[in-house]
């Protein structure tokens, strides 16, 4: 059973990764690549414009798409649970993948490295045995690493919740993405009071109107 899971992960991972005689292309995953436009990714994954969510509009547009394989039309069980694709200024900057728990159950770090290695080559990290403790840690453990001049790919495992995932980022683009997200959060926080003011005014007016209605009703009905 373990061997079947391992082969399934390796075979599905290879979908969309072009076979070349040179070095593995780390920036590709499931037919999309870092640097692709939002429209290219939407078309490839057969999504609609409404599936693209805006994370921050300013100072840099940051968008996000969540995608998972269809469990109805899939002929072979897909180990992929979902992937979150993040765009900065209209270009794909990060691919964050999480795998189905049942499809990776029982697989060791060595098994997972072997599966990824069939697509991306030998990991820069040596696989270590899975550490099990009586109190699972939520801390993410990097169990595989691949890197070239432009791309960083990290294979990781979490014990709580128990899951395995893959993160693919552009070395140049990820720093800009992180700065855009941080600055976008700062701008949103700074403008939140002004955006919230009309709502708070309306709520105060509604409370006052209800209080006045209660006063008038009680005044009309009150008898000493």
Phi, psi of 113 (to 5 degrees): -60, -40
pLDDT-wise least confident of 9-13, 19-23, 89-93, 179-183: 9-13
List pLDDT tens digits, range 123-160.
Answer: 988 777 665 554 455 688 999 999 998 999 999 999 88
Among positive and negative, which fits the CA dihedral 151, 141, 17, 146?
positive
Share of the chain above pLDDT 70, in %: 74
Q: State if pTM tops 0.85.
A: no
**Residue keyed to tokens 């794909």:** 92
Q: Around Cβ 14, how many Cβ atoms within 10 Å?
A: 14
- CA nearest to 152, candidates 167, 164, 142: 167
Mean pLDDT within 87-92: 91
Q: Which of 11-15, 66-70, 193-197 has the lowest mean pLDDT?
A: 11-15
Does the pLDDT value for residue 169 go beyond 70?
yes
Residue 139 has a pLDDT of: 81
Our measurement of the distance from residue 119's CA atom to the centroid of its chain's CA atoms, rounded to an integer in Å, reads 21
CA atoms within 13 A on the CB side of 72: 0
What is the per-residue pLDDT for 22?
63
What are the residue ranges of helices labelled H in the chain? Answer: 2-13, 38-44, 101-104, 109-120, 171-221
Q: Find the angle CA(142)-CA(80)-CA(28) to the nearest 5 degrees.
A: 70
Q: Is the pLDDT of residue 187 over 70?
A: no
Mean pLDDT of 59-67: 90
Question: For residues 6 and 107, what is the distance between their CA atoms, to the nearest angstrom?
Answer: 8
pLDDT exceeds cutoff 60 at 202: yes
Q: Which of 7, 2, 1, 9 is nearest to 155 (CA)?
A: 9
Looking at the predicted structure, is the pLDDT value of residue 18 above 80? no
Q: What is the pLDDT of residue 159?
A: 84
Q: Are 98 and 164 in contact (CB under 8 A)?
A: yes
- The continuous run of DSSP H or E covering 62 comes out as strand 62-67
Annotated domain spans of the chain: 2-177
State mean pLDDT over 30-46.
Answer: 94
Q: Give the model's pLDDT for residue 152.
A: 93
């Amino acid at each position: 059973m373990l061997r079947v899971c391992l082969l399934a992960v390796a075979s599905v991972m290879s979908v969309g990764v072009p076979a070349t005689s040179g070095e593995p292309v780390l920036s590709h995953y499931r037919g999309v690549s870092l640097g692709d436009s939002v429209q290219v990714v939407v078309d490839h994954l057969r999504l609609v414009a409404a599936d693209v969510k805006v994370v921050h509009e300013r100072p840099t547009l940051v968008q996000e798409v969540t995608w998972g394989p269809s469990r109805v039309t899939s002929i072979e069980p897909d180990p992929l649970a979902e992937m979150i694709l993040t765009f900065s200024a209209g270009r794909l900057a990060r691919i964050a993948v999480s795998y189905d728990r049942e499809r990776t159950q029982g697989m060791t770090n060595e098994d997972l490295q072997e599966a990824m290695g069939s697509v991306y080559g030998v990991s820069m990290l040596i696989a270590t045995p899975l550490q099990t403790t009586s109190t699972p840690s939520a801390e993410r453990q990097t169990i595989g690493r691949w890197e070239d001049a432009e791309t960083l790919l990290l294979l990781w495992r979490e014990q709580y919740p128990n899951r395995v995932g893959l993160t693919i980022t552009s070395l140049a683009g990820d720093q800009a993405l992180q700065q855009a997200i941080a600055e976008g959060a700062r701008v949103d926080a700074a403008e939140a009071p002004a955006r919230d003011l009309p709502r708070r005014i309306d709520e105060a007016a509604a409370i006052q109107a209800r209080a006045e209605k209660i006063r008038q009703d009680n005044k009309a009905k009150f008898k000493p």
